[in-house]
Chain A
């Protein structure tokens, strides 16, 4: 799907891989590796099992509380700096020493060590027994154009708890990126934390240069060219509406239905086409509920060519495409009958491997598509989508509100209810006092009293709140950024709004405003505007930008030696980095890829995000979280 770009995330991956190897080699001999489960996805993207084995890893364990039985003489822990993890490691060490087992321990924190964790190690009395190090696995390439810090609870930490560690991590990671691909000349952005990130980047650059050994060394820190022409930083609170809407691209829907974690999706093995060799095409095979079978982890990435083709499409188109591919593969298989001469047979055999891989992938995606279709055909899904689409289009009427009430009455899962209710609150500038009271009462009575905390959390981050005196600006935003596109064509999209069947994500419209100076509406205006030499920035958009929360800013980083820049900069294509703080959705990724393909690939977009989110995962992270004890009377 993506245009062949100049920028490559491969270097980032190689970097991470080399560091992992160095880390493994720092411990001599055979060793056991204990991995924080939340990192197993990211790690498997960096290194395969055989590589670990080559570097002396004999066994791999998942970090879990309780006893760890092992016959390894040394253990390497790789985990996030979370207190829980460290306590668990301390537990392992204590039980080992009680049983007189002698093991050498190393802990590598990802991406940085933290004082709190070292404190806990000290308090548990094991600090002297471990070697503490860091594994700077920060921005992880999920795809050629998509980097993620994979900080699952980034949104909660940033906007609810006020813990800005994620911004610092992002800044560090972006500094590393700049040392590889050159300083990014322009940093523009929107939102409070986006501003903080930009400030931090400017400050860090100054600090890095100041601490260099000599001029020669400081000149070497950043390459003398800039592969990335600009960076657009988007604070998630600038656009909370987009994640609340249901993603309608193929990948987006897979995320909504199954949940994608670090490019992996867990599927029922029967879905992937079990033992049957018959191409299942469009016919529906009997779905046997196999509760006992273990879910299978399937990677979803662009090395699967069919998936690369489908992922960014509106789901409405997917069915047709799948049957086309099925027909083609069938014809290719039939090709064997035409093979008469030995050379022809040889040719066919040569293609066979490819064909089989394609066939396998086709099986997988028809399986997934079928399952997703079940979901999208559901009456409730469609009613929900209808209300959502009306909300974002600014049409709010009593039946829609009644529908939300009905969701509660029917005891629909809380996340679904909250998602729609939040969307309502967001597009209507909050709920009216009486409504707010009633909805809260209904939610508490139906889903439980503990959700008074959830509701407070949602109010605090501004997702679900009471109307106040502040201006109600969504209608203006909608018009200014042309969020609603009536003549959307899912088959031959001419605008990013296809990802939500008629609604364009605000975040990506901002990117268009900054980079293309226009938000679509006929390709003619585009061509005109792109031809202009205007640099990435908010010029011409000052007024509409004021409608969105948080500061709007533009910074210029001077790259000093202009001579070198001029020599090495790649002509023709520009690469622009879009940074999301608080997460981004798969639809936004698809929309940005769509933009990359526009205008003959003049500008390619690369995304760096704290994590991948959907409305549901975001809301779940905001729920009251504590371990509730069972009551005994």
Chain B
């Protein structure tokens, strides 16, 4: 697969002061390919290649069908999937960072395919539909299209597509060329579109259009560097011009002498531009140096973060700047410590004493030498040289006193993984830099997506990563294709995934089973799900209402209980709904809370169907109080009284509510008779008010009607007399009720806190002293209060406790 064991520098080319090399990664597995007839889109990070026949090209009708077919290949040209295309003309295609294929259709629709041909579709809006889509540009997470009426429409998040029209650049004809700078690279962090109009370019974003006032145009092609900092422009008179994307810095200019614009123009890393015309690939460096490669016909260039992948009819190659670590070691005449260490190993293997000499020469930099050999091994694509470099590192670290071998071990692991995925059967030609940027986790996801479950699982185990995602994906895939009966399938899956204790989430697996119509299997699998909260939504969609409710309650998350409750309430007839709620205390409580605030009728129905009379009655009482209309309030209270009476334990409430009706009627009469307000007063307050107003007889009647205890009536009367400063009346009353003593009277007088009342209090205190016995003792506290000045004495607490506790 990889080039033979030539000298490592054999295919290096110098571009100004830097080496570039082009290496073959694969001989393509496809046969009789003619790329010139196809629209091609290849994903970065060694991703898949999608292609469909370009209907603008002439078709020879030898042994091909007329209907176009979408093919998806790996980078090694192995067919992953193909499906018939009959959805209309494709304007452009591209891949997202989740390896979804985006196809933009002429009539303004976008289809998002996964690698297996399953898709979702969305529309780009009215303008795109009406005028059609002329051209499009994509980046990892979004796209921009140019519509037939020369408007730009952008979708910045393909996960949640919301087509939005950008500012109108005011075009009347198609621009010479245009490109985009993805949001993550612009200063404003918003998408920018660069459009070539006449001799200048316009920068368009969501709200504004800015003319850059250039005169070098017109530009027939442009390309933004992978880091978004530079823009390569190709003028109609054949010059390549590189500027910074803020148009402040002029970086390079190069004349190609070609009046035809290149078929493709892209970047190789961030410091060389690669142009492609039929039969030719030309690389231009920052100082006008260039390297030319010859090809037959058309190739396809795939920009990568650290180079460019060149896909031709026969092979897949990778063109990159030679990584510094490799250059240091293999450059002819290099004296870097790594190079000397590598050389030492060769001598050592030849049993030459120069090995020792070499090592001694670089003794102080030996650690650095070992590290650079390790790093070079990482960047090296050739397995033989990888091995040689690692051997050199291993040899070198023997001479270092305490070398931390972690780097060495990690690199060996990484290389094993990389070599495994680079194998042509898998066909993901990742470089070390790409892998570091992609992260192992994403690589695992991509492998599982391509159904390389076993390899993904092995890598997970090898790198000590969680295998759950792989296993779940496998199980889902298994369910989709399996013809086994549900019992066997369930056993198989549980065996592989581990039971409930494994902590693995079964929700997604169960959901797949449900979606493929295997409901029983779904229920069975869902039972293995450790998180109750995860089970609930699926159970709901599976119509397992009761179970969903039970699981929601189990989770302890009240919001989840509400989720199920509201769902069921909408869906089920009341009787069925209540049947599920009844007997589940948390669900019942939450229903009560919710309906008390939001839906009174529901509350009434709930209590009624469950025969909860007392709660019904309570609810009716509340309704009574919330009504300002006296007749309605009385009626409600009458209803409540009846409901309370049905429960032997609540006769008190029945009586109290009945009394309240009586009281309201009585107060209505009183208001009529006395022209004072009485409504809403309590019984005690009613008596008080009557006493103060001097309606002694009526007060006495209220007392009798409602069986108010004598003692309370006495207190109310004393209070009323003090309040109306009726000292004679008070004295008379005190004399007729000596059994209650004077304590209460003095207390009430002192509480009134007026000079007159205090004087009266003095009088009664003296009477108490005179009475002697207990009364005299009680009088003492009042004497203290009356004589005490406001500031004397300390703070003391609890001093009034019984002596026995204080011994």
A450 touches B563 (CB 8 A): no
Among A164, A209, A369, A448, which residue has its beta carbon within 8 angstroms of that of B556?
Answer: A164
Determine the main DSSP class of B at the interface with A: helix
* B652 neighbours in A (Cβ, 8 Å): 437, 440-441, 452
Which of A52-60, A378-386, A526-534 lines the interface with chain B? A378-386
* A377 neighbours in B (Cβ, 8 Å): 793, 795
Among B530, B660, B680, which residue has its beta carbon within 8 angstroms of that of A207?
Answer: B530
Minimum Cβ distance to chain A for residue B534 (Å)? 9
Whether a CB of chain A sits under 8 angstroms from the CB of B671 is yes
A213 touches B466 (CB 8 A): yes
* B559 neighbours in A (Cβ, 8 Å): 112-115, 165
Q: List A residues 363-399 near B (Cβ within 8 Å).
A: 369, 373, 376-377, 379, 382-383, 385-386, 389-390, 393, 395
* B589 neighbours in A (Cβ, 8 Å): 161-163
A162 touches B588 (CB 8 A): yes
B790 touches A633 (CB 8 A): no
Per the bound structure, the CA–CA distance linking A629 and B625 in Å amounts to 6
Q: List A residues 516-531 near B (Cβ within 8 Å).
A: none
Whether a CB of chain A sits under 8 angstroms from the CB of B621 is yes
Per the bound structure, the CA–CA distance linking A442 and B684 in Å amounts to 9
Per the bound structure, the CA–CA distance linking A120 and B599 in Å amounts to 12
Whether a CB of chain A sits under 8 angstroms from the CB of B505 is yes
* B801 neighbours in A (Cβ, 8 Å): 386, 389-390, 501-502
Whether a CB of chain A sits under 8 angstroms from the CB of B210 is no
B715 touches A410 (CB 8 A): yes
Per the bound structure, the CA–CA distance linking A236 and B47 in Å amounts to 61
Among B625, B790, B796, which residue has its beta carbon within 8 angstroms of that of A316?
Answer: B796
Per the bound structure, the CA–CA distance linking A213 and B445 in Å amounts to 12
Whether a CB of chain B sits under 8 angstroms from the CB of A116 is yes
Whether a CB of chain A sits under 8 angstroms from the CB of B657 is yes
A486 touches B805 (CB 8 A): yes
Per the bound structure, the CA–CA distance linking A530 and B101 in Å amounts to 68
| Residue interface mask A153-168, B partner, CB < 8 A = 1 | 0000100011111011
Per the bound structure, the CA–CA distance linking A630 and B679 in Å amounts to 9
- Which residue of chain A is the closest to B503 with respect to CB atoms? A210
B556 touches A203 (CB 8 A): yes
- Which residue of chain B is the closest to A631 with respect to CB atoms? B679
Per the bound structure, the CA–CA distance linking A501 and B795 in Å amounts to 14
Whether a CB of chain A sits under 8 angstroms from the CB of B594 is yes
| Residue interface mask A439-482, B partner, CB < 8 A = 1 | 01110111111101100100000000000000000000000000
* A163 neighbours in B (Cβ, 8 Å): 558, 589-590, 593
Minimum Cβ distance to chain A for residue B458 (Å)? 15
B466 touches A456 (CB 8 A): no
* A83 neighbours in B (Cβ, 8 Å): 597-598
Per the bound structure, the CA–CA distance linking A284 and B788 in Å amounts to 14
Whether a CB of chain B sits under 8 angstroms from the CB of A216 is yes
Per the bound structure, the CA–CA distance linking A434 and B663 in Å amounts to 24
Interface centre among A163, A212, A315, A385 (most CB of B within 10 A): A163
**Contacts A382-B800, A484-B805 given; does A449 touch B659 at CB 8 Å:** yes
* B716 neighbours in A (Cβ, 8 Å): 409
**Contacts A446-B684, A633-B679 given; does A211 touch B781 at CB 8 Å:** no
Whether a CB of chain B sits under 8 angstroms from the CB of A294 is no
Per the bound structure, the CA–CA distance linking A215 and B463 in Å amounts to 11
Minimum Cβ distance to chain B for residue A488 (Å)? 8
Q: List B residues 672-699 near A (Cβ within 8 Å).
A: 679-680, 682-684
**Contacts A449-B656, A633-B679 given; does A213 touch B798 at CB 8 Å:** no
Whether a CB of chain B sits under 8 angstroms from the CB of A318 is yes
B566 touches A631 (CB 8 A): no
Whether a CB of chain A sits under 8 angstroms from the CB of B368 is no
Whether a CB of chain A sits under 8 angstroms from the CB of B403 is no
Per the bound structure, the CA–CA distance linking A448 and B711 in Å amounts to 19
Which of B330-338, B355-363, B628-636 lines the interface with chain A? B628-636
A385 touches B797 (CB 8 A): yes
Minimum Cβ distance to chain A for residue B113 (Å)? 27
Whether a CB of chain A sits under 8 angstroms from the CB of B802 is yes
Among A213, A283, A379, A484, which residue has its beta carbon within 8 angstroms of that of B781?
Answer: A379
Whether a CB of chain A sits under 8 angstroms from the CB of B291 is no
Whether a CB of chain A sits under 8 angstroms from the CB of B626 is yes
**Contacts A405-B711, A446-B712, A448-B682 given; does A629 touch B627 at CB 8 Å:** yes
- Which residue of chain B is the closest to A323 with respect to CB atoms? B794
Whether a CB of chain B sits under 8 angstroms from the CB of A119 is yes
Report the interface size class on chain A.
35 or more
Count of chain B residues with Cβ under 8 Å from any Cβ of A?
83
Whether a CB of chain A sits under 8 angstroms from the CB of B585 is yes
| Residue interface mask B460-473, A partner, CB < 8 A = 1 | 10001110000000
Whether a CB of chain B sits under 8 angstroms from the CB of A411 is yes
* B504 neighbours in A (Cβ, 8 Å): 210
Per the bound structure, the CA–CA distance linking A314 and B799 in Å amounts to 13
Per the bound structure, the CA–CA distance linking A600 and B441 in Å amounts to 51
Per the bound structure, the CA–CA distance linking A200 and B597 in Å amounts to 28
Among B464, B586, B625, B807, which residue has its beta carbon within 8 angstroms of that of A486?
Answer: B807
A633 touches B798 (CB 8 A): no
- Which residue of chain A is the closest to B785 with respect to CB atoms? A379
Per the bound structure, the CA–CA distance linking A155 and B712 in Å amounts to 33
Per the bound structure, the CA–CA distance linking A214 and B460 in Å amounts to 9
| Residue interface mask A121-139, B partner, CB < 8 A = 1 | 0000000000000000000
Minimum Cβ distance to chain B for residue A484 (Å)? 7
* B562 neighbours in A (Cβ, 8 Å): 114-116
B628 touches A629 (CB 8 A): yes
B680 touches A630 (CB 8 A): yes
* B797 neighbours in A (Cβ, 8 Å): 248, 314-316, 376, 385, 490, 501
A171 touches B585 (CB 8 A): no
B466 touches A171 (CB 8 A): no
* A171 neighbours in B (Cβ, 8 Å): 556
Whether a CB of chain B sits under 8 angstroms from the CB of A408 is yes
B464 touches A215 (CB 8 A): yes
A444 touches B558 (CB 8 A): no
B441 touches A213 (CB 8 A): yes
**Contacts A211-B505, A319-B795, A456-B618 given; does A168 touch B625 at CB 8 Å:** no
Whether a CB of chain A sits under 8 angstroms from the CB of B668 is yes
* B796 neighbours in A (Cβ, 8 Å): 316
Minimum Cβ distance to chain A for residue B594 (Å)? 6
Per the bound structure, the CA–CA distance linking A490 and B799 in Å amounts to 12
Q: List A residues 161-215 near B (Cβ within 8 Å).
A: 161-165, 167-168, 171, 196, 199-200, 203, 206-207, 209-215
Among B466, B656, B682, which residue has its beta carbon within 8 angstroms of that of A214?
Answer: B466
* B614 neighbours in A (Cβ, 8 Å): 456
Whether a CB of chain A sits under 8 angstroms from the CB of B776 is no
Among B466, B566, B671, which residue has its beta carbon within 8 angstroms of that of A633?
Answer: B671
Per the bound structure, the CA–CA distance linking A456 and B612 in Å amounts to 14
Whether a CB of chain B sits under 8 angstroms from the CB of A632 is yes
A632 touches B628 (CB 8 A): yes
Interface centre among B627, B652, B748 (most CB of A within 10 A): B652
* B633 neighbours in A (Cβ, 8 Å): 631
Whether a CB of chain B sits under 8 angstroms from the CB of A627 is yes
Q: List A residues 399-454 near B (Cβ within 8 Å).
A: 405-406, 408-411, 437, 440-442, 444-450, 452-453
Among B594, B629, B793, which residue has its beta carbon within 8 angstroms of that of A116?
Answer: B594
Per the bound structure, the CA–CA distance linking A250 and B657 in Å amounts to 43
* A210 neighbours in B (Cβ, 8 Å): 503-505, 530-531
Whether a CB of chain A sits under 8 angstroms from the CB of B773 is no
* A212 neighbours in B (Cβ, 8 Å): 466
B683 touches A315 (CB 8 A): no
A sample of 6 cross-chain residue pairs with beta-carbon separation below 8 angstroms, ordered by A number, consists of: A168-B558, A215-B465, A284-B791, A441-B652, A445-B683, A446-B682
Give 5 nearest A-B pairs by CB, closest first. A162-B589, A210-B503, A214-B466, A501-B798, A629-B628
Known: A116-B562, A448-B682, A626-B625. 18 other contacts (CB 8 A): A167-B556, A210-B504, A215-B466, A248-B798, A369-B795, A376-B797, A389-B801, A389-B802, A406-B715, A441-B656, A442-B709, A445-B708, A446-B683, A449-B659, A484-B805, A490-B797, A626-B626, A633-B668
